[in-house]
A and B are shown apart, each in its own frame.
Chain A
Amino acid sequence: MERFLLKNIDNPESHRLAFYEAEGGYGSLKKALSLKPEEIIGEVKNSGLRGRGGAGFPTGMKWDFASRDPKFPKYLICNADEGEPGTFKDRPILEKNPHLLIEGMIISAYALKAEKGYIYLRGEYPYAKVVLEEAIKEAYEKGYLGDNILGSGFKFDLSVHQGAGAYICGEETALIESIEGKRGQPRIKPPFPVNVGAWGMPTVVNNVETLANIPLIIKIGSEEYKKIGNPECPGPKLYCVSGCVESPGVYELPMGTTLREIIYEHCGGIRGGGELKAVIPGGISTPVLTPDKLDTMMDFVSLPKVGSMLGSGAVMVFDQSVCLVRVCWRAMKFFEHESCGKCTPCREGVSWMRTVLERIESGFGRKGDIELLQDVASNIAGKTFCPLGDGAAGVVLSFIRNFPEEFDYHIEHKKCMVEA
């Protein structure tokens, strides 16, 4: 497949405006400015684009809600707080193809009648900050940003807001709190950000990859776009693969490529000719899968049918040398660290799940620990403001469900079956 999101990223000049323009960049913006905002929203709705941050909400519908709200000003925020462990798909866009994102944001802002935008960039990407700020400066100088963009009368200002190391700020209401200069704790929904977002105003929060799809939809039209990948949720998708494969990395493929094709055709199979044990398909918050699910299409509709989720498209591959109890414990240590502390079931429950997993992993597991973990997990899920607790609970339950023998062995033999 021809690459669009990662086009030319191997060229050392790919981040420069002159290079991007020479390759046809900002052509979609010029086309968009000749359309009415409602026409653009209609195109995005018709394209079937679903948000690439993890939740998979239809982008056009989100835009429609915000656009129908009569309050002004409206805000457009790009979620570049790529913090889901296993995820590094937005990084090449931010560092190598920043003008694609900026062009996508300007078109989106025009459609939404938003005059101010922010890129909420995670603090752990200092190099991306340098690249983005330079690209924004170039775009201002060329009249793509600022007052009266390309003589259209449309005004849009864009700046980078640097996060400071809080995973929870990837959740859109926590992100908004953080932009407002507050502790990044999620808000209860409703009201949704499309009506009451940043500074109480209608706000659209879209992921980097989502916004980077917009110039393509405008360029080829929604009908052509729908022909890419699974028609139920079409478009190109960035899959970032890590762990025990020969060639880990970011792969741009049609939405709905199977796990088997991703791992064995694009990533060269399991490293050292090893045997696959488990796959996490969409970042650490998504339930783990067993090898018999390899023929599942990696998209928003197929993965839920086998008990998992597409999430951020972060495929983490584990071979037989990896202790899954340890993986599960490390994941829980992460969630414990990142729980914002607002909702009691998540704050207390995740901490207890980490404690119990830690004793199982280190050979002090007790009979009944598995049932205890299941009990705690089921008392977190669905009882919190945001999905962090749900994710943590789902991870524990899926590891226990899919790999019970590993947990049992740890408890019974006081050691790991991988080392045995």
Chain B
Amino acid sequence: MDEIKEILKKYPDRRGALLPTLYVAQKAYGWLSQEALEEAAKALNLPPATVKGVATFYAMYKHKPMGRHLIQLCTNVACMIMGAERLVDLLKERYGLEPGGTTEDGRFSLVIMECIGACDRAPAMLVDTDFHADLNENNIFEILEKYE
């Protein structure tokens, strides 16, 4: 709650604090479960339906449990022409990981991103909040193996 109080100071009304509050709830619960959404609604004194309506608009709020590590791989045009789609296939072959899915052991979830602003070093991805670029068929696994 202290974190939310700090957030509220930055906005002229409670509703303004909703996006950052959803991030706080997502961090605490791992994803935006019904319970997490209701907590956020209660903290800001907003209707739960309003909160859910906002949360479902944005791609980075998660509405199902995620693996321990979230791979966000870009396949937009610049990454596509540098081979990103092949990397998606390889993730499926190696880990059985589908876009939007999670590995059976709960280690990785994969989300296809729409441009992460690293087109000069394509293909690129975020693993949790770590940025990795200049990916190829070999180094992507060297990188991912470091995430237990």
Contact = CB atoms under 8 A, between A and B. Distances in A.
Interface string A120-150: 0011111100000000000000000000000
A85 B77 contact: yes
B20 A162 contact: yes
A interface, how many residues as a size bin?
Answer: 35 or more
B109 to A, nearest CB: 14
B16 A180 contact: yes
B94 interface: no
B100 interface: no
A165 interface: yes
A167 B76 CA distance: 13
Nearest to B80: A330
A248 interface: yes
Most-contacted residue by chain A among B18, B120, B126 (CB, 10 A): B120
Contacts of B18: 181-182
A363 to B, nearest CB: 17
A322 B57 contact: no
Contacts of A86: 77-78, 115, 119
The residue among A124, A125, A250, A331 with the most chain B CB atoms within 10 A of its own CB is A124
Given A181-B17, A184-B58, A250 B120 contact: yes
A284 interface: yes
Interface string A301-327: 000000000000010101000100011
B118 interface: yes
A4 B54 CA distance: 39
Contact of A241 (B12, B58, B120): B120
Contacts of A178: 19
Contact of B114 (A91, A163, A182, A338): A338
B115 A85 contact: yes
Nearest to B54: A183
Interface of B: 10-13, 15-20, 22-23, 53-54, 57-61, 72, 75-78, 80-81, 113-122, 126, 129, 131
List 10 tightest A-B contacts by C-beta distance, closest first.
A181-B18, A165-B59, A242-B119, A164-B58, A165-B60, A248-B120, A126-B129, A181-B15, A183-B57, A85-B115
18 contacts: A73-B12, A85-B76, A85-B114, A86-B115, A162-B20, A163-B58, A164-B58, A164-B59, A165-B113, A166-B58, A180-B15, A181-B18, A182-B54, A199-B12, A240-B119, A242-B78, A248-B119, A327-B81
